[in-house]
Structure formats: structure tokens, C-alpha cells
A and B are shown apart, each in its own frame.
Chain A
Amino acid sequence: MRVSLRQAFAYKLDFIFTLILGLLVSLVMIFVWYAVYANSGVSSIGGLSLNAMYVYFFMVNALSFITYNAAVAQTMQEDVQTGAVSTAMARPIGYNTNLFLNSLSVAIVGGLTVTLPMLLIAIVLSHTAVSPAALGLLLIEVLLSFAITTCIGYVIGTLSIYFVNIWGIINLTGFVYYFLGGSLAPLSLFPKWLANILMLLPSQLMMYTPAATLLGIIPMDEIIREIAVGAVWLAALVLFTLLWLRRISRRVVAVGG
């Protein structure tokens, strides 16, 4: 955790400016939707008021820092490329555990420095009433999403054993997550058939469902159903990841230098 904090703040001003720009990207979508609402002359689109739309884009941006774990695959790739995987595997703490703890600390740092302040700003400025139940559900959704993307990160990371450089695959995964997770627009605005499919995928837990939970724009039974969908995905992915890691660990031949 201390290492992650130090890495994040190594170039402090660069870090701060990057954060501010992250906020500005949310502002772009806010301007766009303001223009859309103004031109359409309606107070609500797809059940979302303009105010809710503002908050949605702020939340989506904030949540992406903690719900998507790319650190596992990135670290595995670096370890394979540099040969550090051999020394890392020889340490008393298991390699996979070490990877998980490392990525968890990255997420916690992201959560404390970006997500929490941005969520608070969004909630306070929009006067959104957030119930303790919504906060509890949000926490479950965030943890589920983090766990799911961690499992996928392990599987993607092991591909570096075959392909050495997997930046493209890591980014492809991120692209799919952002694309399907609700970063473009709330999933409820998608065509009904597409929204129904997307709600069955784990990506909905990354942005749309947590933001919608906080905003209170989807009913409780739907939230519970989406959490259940996520839990089923997680169980299947944990099983698959464990089997995959056991199989793949036999293929590790470390070189590097």
C-alpha cells in the first residue's frame, strides 16, 4: 500500500493534473447531454433527469478507478518479460497472493484519492439522497466487480507466457469493459434487446449498476438480480481461474535479465 502510494505520488503535479483532466472528461459528457436535453425540450430521457445524467457520468468516471483491476495482468506481463517471475515465485508469500495484494493496494489508493472524493463531490453537488442500504449494495457491487476483473486479469496475465507482450490484449479487455459497462451512456438508454443482454454480463457491475444504485434509478429487486448475476459469474470465474493457474504454472520457464 505504501509502495503504491509512493508510486502514485512520484510525480505529484503530474498526478494531480491527470486527476483534474479525468474530471474534465466527465464534464464533456455533461455538456453534450445538456445540449441534447436543451434541444429535445424534455425534462427526462429514458427515465433520467438532466441532473441524474450529470451525476451518472461523474460516478462512472470515479468508479472505474476501483471496479476494474488491470494491475494483475500488467504486473504478470512485466514479470514474465523481465524474468522477475522466477524470484517472485521463490518468495515465501505465494506469487498469486502477492499479485492480488499488490493490485488491491493500487485499487485502495485509487479509491481513496480519486473515487471517494469524486463520488462525494457528485453526491453533494447534485443533492442526491443516498441511503445506507444503497451504500451497502454499492460496496458489494464494487467488490464483486473488482473480484471478477481480478480473475480475468489472472487469466489474461498468464497469456504473457505464450505471447510475451500482451498490452494489446490487456487494453482490449479494458475496451470491452468500458464499452459494455455503461461508460458511453446509461445501459437503460440502449435498445431494449441489447440492454437485456448487457445486463447479463459481468461488465454491468463495473459502472452502470453501481452508479444506478447510488442514483436510485433502478428498483431494489433489479439491483439484487444484477448482484446475483455477478455472483454467478464470479463463482464460475474463480473456479476456471484456479484450474487455469494450476495448469499454466507448469509451463512457466523464467528467463529475462
Chain B
Amino acid sequence: MGLKREIKFFITCQRYNWLSFLAYRMQAFVWLSLNALFILYGILTVTIIYGVSSGISGWSYYQMLFLIGTTGITVNAVWYLCNPNGLVRQLRSGKLDSTFLRPYSRLNIMLSASGNVDNSTTAISSLIMMAYAASKIGVDAAGMLLYAALMAAGISAFVLFVMALSVLAYLLIRGANFVNGVLNFMSSSSKYPLSIFGFAGQLIFTLLLPIGIASYYPAEFVLGRLSLSSAALVFVLALLVGAASYVLFHKFMKGYVGGGG
């Protein structure tokens, strides 16, 4: 019953977010179109790299496109749900204080209030590119299903991680512009195989900044580079990161004493 109510609240907020966004139709159209084009950055970079060289060791052109598409879906799903800088600005100005009095979970309220609906088109264009690359590579349906499950677990964990980090940033430095920067940095990094960053880099992007569990490892699995048992470990890791982030989020929120003036 409680979960049903939370979901209903979330959907209502999404509807409101979309209506607010569409209030300025021209800018909404430009935003959505522009965001759909962002995927071109990755495509063009990889096309140039593979046009002038033999590319990155062990990765074909279409496998790289698949990875870029996967990262695009992951990162933009996270952006859709939370914008750390926007969230911290709302906490700072006390805009959420009255909403916190409502009978919904704080996490749900904050997720509903801070996302960017316009990132949906980037996620969709990434999905299209991922599907195109998958068709070129020849990925089987069962593999794709497991890939989707791994990604869903990874994205959930990653969203919780970003939320916890945003609240921590608010408590420590009252700003989260840098958390947006962290997200952009992870987005740029995970478009490429994590192996290029060496063992230390791979460890950082798996445990410290867990974008790897949401995009790189699912992509590796579907491309046949990761065994089923390793994929299961990634799934468990996603659950652990998600649970730890959830606990930390609530712990950090205890330090919130209301904003604004």
C-alpha cells in the first residue's frame, strides 16, 4: 500500500515536471532535440579514432558504439532522476522543507523534485544506438535480458550513490556543482573501456565511483567478455552499493536542519 502511494506520488511529480518543462514549448523542443544529438559526441570521437588508427586493443568499432550507447542510457537515466546541483540549491533555499512534511519518503520527494526530464531524449537516442550496434555485433536475446537486469540493478545503485553524494556535498560545502562535474567525468570516462585506465582506474570506477557496475560490466557481459559467475558478482556488488548508499543517504539527511531564510 505504502509503495503504491509512493509510486503514485512519483508519477504525479513526473507529470508535473513534464508540464513545467513544456510550458516554454520552443525551448522544450530545442532542449529535447539537442539532447538527442549529444550521442553524436561519442559516435564522432570513436569514428575519428577508428578512422585514423586501429582503435583500442580488443574492441571493435561496433563494440565501442555499444559501450557508448550503454553509458548514454545509464548516465541519462541518472540525470533524468536527479540533478545534484539543482537538488542542493533546493535544499539550500529551503524549497523542499514544506514538501518534506508530506507523508512520502524523503528519497522519493528528492528524486521527484530534482531530475531533468529533457535527458530522456539522450537516453532514447543512446538506446537506439546501442540497439543498432547490438544488431551489428549479433547479440542474442537471452544475453540482452541479463544485460538489462544488470543495468537496472546498476542504475538503481548508481542513483542512490549520487543522491547520497549530493546530500553529503550539501552538508560539507553547501554546493554540488562539483557532483554534476563528477557525473560528467564518469560519463566521459565510462564511454571507453575501463581497462584503458589501468587496474587502479578500473577499481575506482567500480567501487569508488560505481559507474562501471551500471554500464561497463553489463556491456562486457553481453559482449562475451564477462562470465556468468562474474556477472552475478557484479549484480551482488550493485545491490551492496545500493544498500550502502541508501543507508548513507538517510544518515546524511539526519544532518539536514532546513534551509532558506
Chain B residues whose CB sits within 8 angstroms of the CB of A105 once the complex forms: none
Distance (whole angstroms) from the CB of A12 to the closest CB of chain B:
8
Instruction: Look across to chain B and name the residue whose beta carbon is closest to the beta carbon of A34.
Output: B196
A175 to B29, CA, bound (A): 15
A35 to B191, CA, bound (A): 14
Q: Looking at the complex, which one of A11, A13, A18, A36 makes contact with B181 (CB distance below 8 Å)?
A: A18
A22 to B188, CA, bound (A): 11
Say which size band chain B's interface belongs to: 35 or more
The answer to whether B56 and A36 touch across the interface, beta carbons within 8 angstroms, is yes
Quick one: given A25-B185, A31-B197, A168-B30, are A184 and B53 in contact (CB under 8 Å)?
Answer: no
Quick one: given A31-B201, A165-B24, are A21 and B184 in contact (CB under 8 Å)?
Answer: yes
Q: Does B246 contact A (CB under 8 A)?
A: no
The answer to whether A38 and B53 touch across the interface, beta carbons within 8 angstroms, is no
Say which size band chain A's interface belongs to: 35 or more
CB contacts under 8 Å to B, within A36-85, are 36-40, 42, 45-46
The answer to whether B189 and A28 touch across the interface, beta carbons within 8 angstroms, is yes
**Chain B interface secondary structure, helix, strand, loop or mixed?**
helix
The answer to whether B45 and A184 touch across the interface, beta carbons within 8 angstroms, is yes
The answer to whether B185 and A168 touch across the interface, beta carbons within 8 angstroms, is no
Chain A residues whose CB sits within 8 angstroms of the CB of B201 once the complex forms: 31
Chain A residues whose CB sits within 8 angstroms of the CB of B37 once the complex forms: 175
Distance (whole angstroms) from the CB of B168 to the closest CB of chain A:
12
Chain A residues whose CB sits within 8 angstroms of the CB of B30 once the complex forms: 168-169, 172
Quick one: given A11-B174, A185-B45, are A167 and B52 in contact (CB under 8 Å)?
Answer: no
Quick one: given A13-B173, A32-B56, A168-B27, are A21 and B182 in contact (CB under 8 Å)?
Answer: yes
Q: Does B80 contact A (CB under 8 A)?
A: no
Residue among A32, A164, A172, A191 with max Cβ neighbours from chain B (10 Å)? A32
Instruction: Look across to chain A and name the residue whose beta carbon is closest to the beta carbon of B54.
Output: A40
Interface membership of chain B positions 171-214, coded 1 if the CB is closer than 8 angstroms to chain A and 0 otherwise: 01111111001101100110011001100010000000000000
Q: Does B26 contact A (CB under 8 A)?
A: yes
The answer to whether B52 and A21 touch across the interface, beta carbons within 8 angstroms, is no
Interface membership of chain A positions 159-170, coded 1 if the CB is closer than 8 angstroms to chain B and 0 otherwise: 000011111110
Chain B residues whose CB sits within 8 angstroms of the CB of A189 once the complex forms: 48, 51-52
CB contacts under 8 Å to A, within B40-76, are 40-41, 44-45, 48-49, 51-57
Q: Does B31 contact A (CB under 8 A)?
A: yes
A57 to B182, CA, bound (A): 19
The answer to whether A169 and B184 touch across the interface, beta carbons within 8 angstroms, is no
Instruction: Look across to chain A and name the residue whose beta carbon is closest to the beta carbon of B195.
Output: A35
A178 to B215, CA, bound (A): 25
Chain B residues whose CB sits within 8 angstroms of the CB of A36 once the complex forms: 49, 53, 55-56
Quick one: given A14-B177, A28-B192, are A165 and B27 in contact (CB under 8 Å)?
Answer: yes
The answer to whether B184 and A25 touch across the interface, beta carbons within 8 angstroms, is yes
A15 to B53, CA, bound (A): 37
Residue among B30, B41, B177 with max Cβ neighbours from chain A (10 Å)? B30
The answer to whether A184 and B173 touch across the interface, beta carbons within 8 angstroms, is no
The answer to whether A179 and B40 touch across the interface, beta carbons within 8 angstroms, is yes
Distance (whole angstroms) from the CB of A70 to the closest CB of chain B:
14
Q: Looking at the complex, which one of B34, B53, B181 makes contact with A45 (CB distance below 8 Å)?
A: B53
Residue among A164, A168, A172 with max Cβ neighbours from chain B (10 Å)? A168
A126 to B169, CA, bound (A): 35
Chain B residues whose CB sits within 8 angstroms of the CB of A165 once the complex forms: 24, 26-27
Question: Besides the contacts A32-B192, A36-B56, what 12 more A-B pairs have beta carbons closer than 8 Å?
Answer: A14-B177, A14-B178, A17-B177, A35-B57, A35-B192, A36-B49, A167-B27, A168-B30, A171-B34, A179-B41, A184-B44, A189-B52
**29 residue pairs from A and B, CB less than 8 Å apart:** A11-B177, A13-B172, A14-B175, A22-B181, A25-B188, A28-B185, A29-B188, A31-B192, A31-B196, A31-B201, A32-B49, A32-B56, A35-B56, A36-B53, A37-B53, A39-B54, A39-B57, A42-B53, A165-B27, A167-B27, A168-B26, A168-B29, A172-B30, A172-B33, A184-B44, A184-B45, A184-B48, A185-B49, A191-B51
5 pairs of A and B residues whose beta carbons are closest in the complex:
A168-B30, A14-B175, A17-B178, A21-B181, A11-B175
Q: Which residues of B contact A (CB under 8 A)?
A: 24, 26-31, 33-34, 37-38, 40-41, 44-45, 48-49, 51-57, 169, 172-178, 181-182, 184-185, 188-189, 192-193, 196-197, 201
